[in-house]
Structure 1
Amino acid sequence: MGFIDCLPARRQEALGQLVADQNWAGAPAILVLPIDQYQVFQVERPEGVEDSELADALKWKLKDFLDFSPSDAVSDVFMFPKDASRGRGPLVNVVAARKSLVQELIDLVSASGLELKKIDIAELALRNLAARLDTVNRGVALVHLRDRYGQMVICQGGTLYLSRRLELSYDDLGDASNQENAVQSLALEIQRSMDYFESQLGQVPPSTIRLVARDSVLPLNSMLSSYMAAGLDVPDWTEFGLNADLDSRCLPAWSAALTQESLA
């Protein structure tokens, strides 16, 4: 397991070489869309629409929110927790992405020799890991930090309740002149998400936040903890059979392989 850093123009070559080197031709693959290539909306579930027809029916409700035509979108749905709807009636999460972008990624996987089995999104992939960490079914908050952004999910068992994109810059976190403001800003975003989970969704927030960050000398746990009501820790990767810390850049792809079937 590892991460190959390359320019977008070189990714076909890099993936094809990796498949050849590892003898992975024909191996099943899960494609995880990055969070900047799709949008998720919460909408009321219409009455009388079958589950199989929900995605196509609901994407047209998004025409005022998308910057492209719904006819150019590929969509899917996943359920919003009933106990978090706060009397608003049944809600569903609608995922929408440009067909052309999704097709480009599908072609990338196909041309490499892998066999595409599933297309996932980042928060549902991270949900798989959160579910594994939620050993007492009291909810887990998981924060994944990349170089230029982060993502936070809060789950109970295998159910995703909340997903938020977090704005950050590792350059600022590592710059002594900007570090304090950057840490405070990140902590505020995380705390606001926890507060929303409690006040707007009516749920008891987890007492601990699991943090997965880019390999760094920055002691982010201690830097953030002074501004947070919840405690912070990192997952114990040995519990997942890993001999070393997981490269955080691989987290969505690795988590996607923790399928719901394997959580049973």
Structure 2
Amino acid sequence: MFFLKKTRKSDGWLSFALLADGIAAASVRCAPSARPAVAISHFALGGNGADALDKVGRELHASQYRSVVLLAGGEYQIVTVDAPNVPADELRTAVRWRLKDMLDFPVDDATVDVLDIPVDTSAAVRASHSLFALAARNSIIKPRQERFTAAKIGLDAIDIPEMAQRNISAMIEPEGRGVAMLSFGDDGALLTVTFMGELYLSRRIDVPLADVLDADFDRKHASFDKITLEVQRSLDHFDRQFHFISVASLVLAPSGASGLEEYLSSNLYTPVSTMDLADVFDLGQAPQLAGAAEQQRFFLALGAALRHDESEPGQQINLFNPLFRKQTQLWTTPVLGQALAAVLVGALLTAWYANQNVATLQREAELGRQMLAQREVRLAKVKAEFAPRGKSAEVALDLAEAETRLQALRDAAAVLERGELGNTIGFAGYFKALARQQLAGVWLTGVSIGAGGTDLAVQGRALDPALVPAYLGRLTKEQVMRGKAFGSLKIGPPAAAGEPGATAARFVEFNLESTMAEVAK
């Protein structure tokens, strides 16, 4: 709905540093293979309350950015603790329990976050793993969030100076070596050591900016002595604890302090140089940052503006406490009135639309009833015209007769297949076979075929009894004679030869009788 619409924020950060004399706000634009360009470097002289923030926010269109504010050095505590062996989602709870004896205020009244300290991944023996534990009083976090809420600036993160300084130090690290950086502010000096873009050391030195800018020679050099001693001790301790990191140099953040670089160079074994922000930032849109004093004022604000998203790899902290986020009252009286009006209009439109649909549905239902009545009338007419006919007795009789004839034909075919009627192919084959087999000295006197061709009897005469077996052998080679066995063979003189006074016959008579036999396979 239009009254719930939110302004889309850009990808950049707008950082705020609440200084003693006013508000420093900064934003940078980052592009690949180019120095970060300073887009905003605004300083509002005066107070840093909600009214002043509101004015700055409106001038800079803060609603178009994600906003981050820096805590001052005395508004939080940072301590080093051993990393507890717990899952990541339980890490803050475990660290909070360890901090209860390390803070100068009750841990239950603190907002806590942790910062991982990377270990030497190339070490043969795994070193102990440590964390930076950060804690800030809720009595500081809650009013800070409420101040931004009152100024109508949507605060997304609360950061610390160590991380802002880390962001700038990471841009000047030489390949494979670490960098120590020393900056000054109203709350003292801050020494950090970074390696591969990660924070490894943080030390506060009780020497504010005013002490290194003091015009009195003796007081200023007393401050230089204190700084030298604290820096040397810190670097020696760092070298013992993180021996795998070689610190290339000590870089002094812009401060305008004369003589500090020379003094440290003559008393430290580490090379010392002073930074110019123009070497790491594109100041084309911020010519007012040419001087050391202005660079010192915006140093931490610019570092905080380099903040990366928490979803990206690398160290990141955020002391913003969601418990103190002011709940937006969406249902205020004007908004509630608009919502009720919208609901009323929607209800009226719904009722009108429903009435229209009901009328339409009623017309369609009536039309459907009329069509149904017409179809029922047509169905009745069709049933009357095409009534089902009864069975015909004549057709049933013809069908029964046809089935009887069909069964008779089937029975006859079965008889023929079984050979119950004997030979069904005639007797011509037998006679052709007998005619083809002519043997000199053998002649037939009679042929008898019976039992449908199953039984065969052949009578004949032969001049020599030895011719009969030869004839029989030739006869059985005929196709029609195969499968037949001559079960009876009689050879003898003619019947008349046995009578008294009869002369001896010159031939013999034979009688062959056959039966069916199985042919061996």
Instruction: With the length of structure 2 as denominator, give the TM-score of the two structures.
Output: 0.46
| 2:71 corresponds to which of 18, 26, 33 | 33
The 3 A distance-change label for structure 1 pair 67 and 138 is same
Q: Deviations over 1:221-253 (max 9, x none)?
A: 123322222222223422310242552132222
Q: Matched residues in 2 for 1:213 and 1:186: separation?
A: 16
Structure ID, larger Rg = 2
Residues 197 and 203 in structure 1, CA contact (< 8 A), matched pair in contact too: no
Q: How does 1:74-153 map to 2 (within 5 A)?
A: 74-83=111-120, 89-153=128-192
Q: Matched residues in 1 for 2:144 and 2:112: separation?
A: 15
Q: Deviations over 1:31-60 (max 9, x none)?
A: 22222111122222222x221221122112
Which residue of 1 is the match for residue 234 of structure 2? 193
Q: Matched residues in 2 for 1:23 and 1:118: separation?
A: 18
| 2:268 corresponds to which of 203, 218, 228 | 228
Q: Deviations over 1:89-143 (max 9, x none)?
A: 3222211111121111112222222222222222122111111111424111111
Q: Matched residues in 2 for 1:163 and 1:30: separation?
A: 21
1:155 aligns with 2:194: yes
| 2:83 corresponds to which of 45, 69, 75 | 45
- Which one is further off, 77-86 or 37-46? 77-86
- 1:187 is paired with a residue whose SS is helix
The 3 A distance-change label for structure 1 pair 46 and 171 is closer
Q: Matched residues in 1 for 2:273 and 2:313: separation?
A: 22
- 1:178 is paired with a residue whose SS is helix
Residue identity matched to 2:73? I
Residues 128 and 158 in structure 1, CA contact (< 8 A), matched pair in contact too: yes
Q: How does 1:173-252 map to 2 (within 5 A)?
A: 173=212, 174=214, 175-216=216-257, 218-238=258-278, 239-242=280-283, 243=287, 244-245=290-291, 247-252=295-300
Residues 28 and 114 in structure 1, CA contact (< 8 A), matched pair in contact too: no
Bigger relative CO (Cα 8 Å, ≥ 6 apart): 1
Give the alignment's Cα RMSD to 1 decimal. Answer: 2.7
Residue identity matched to 1:43? V
Which residue of 1 is the match for residue 51 of structure 2? 13
Paired-residue identity, % = 29
- 1:160 is paired with a residue whose SS is strand
Residue identity matched to 2:221? E
Q: Matched residues in 2 for 1:5 and 1:164: separation?
A: 29
Which residue of 1 is the match for residue 305 of structure 2? 257
Residue identity matched to 1:200? Q
Residue identity matched to 1:93? F
1:23 aligns with 2:68: no
Residues 140 and 206 in structure 1, CA contact (< 8 A), matched pair in contact too: yes
Residues 128 and 260 in structure 1, CA contact (< 8 A), matched pair in contact too: no
Deviation at 1:18, TM superposition (A): 1.4
Residues 27 and 114 in structure 1, CA contact (< 8 A), matched pair in contact too: no
Residue identity matched to 1:15? L
Q: Matched residues in 1 for 2:119 and 2:313: separation?
A: 22
Residue identity matched to 1:21? E
Q: Matched residues in 2 for 1:220 and 1:147: separation?
A: 17
Q: Matched residues in 1 for 2:82 and 2:163: separation?
A: 20
1:61 aligns with 2:101: no
Residue identity matched to 1:114? I
Number of residue equivalences: 260
Residues 189 and 209 in structure 2, CA contact (< 8 A), matched pair in contact too: no
- 2:84 is paired with a residue whose SS is coil
Deviation at 1:188, TM superposition (A): 1.3
Q: Matched residues in 2 for 1:55 and 1:108: separation?
A: 26
Deviation at 1:145, TM superposition (A): 0.9
Residues 215 and 247 in structure 1, CA contact (< 8 A), matched pair in contact too: no
Q: Matched residues in 2 for 1:79 and 1:254: separation?
A: 23
Instruction: With the length of structure 1 as denominator, give the TM-score of the two structures.
Output: 0.87
Residue identity matched to 2:274? V
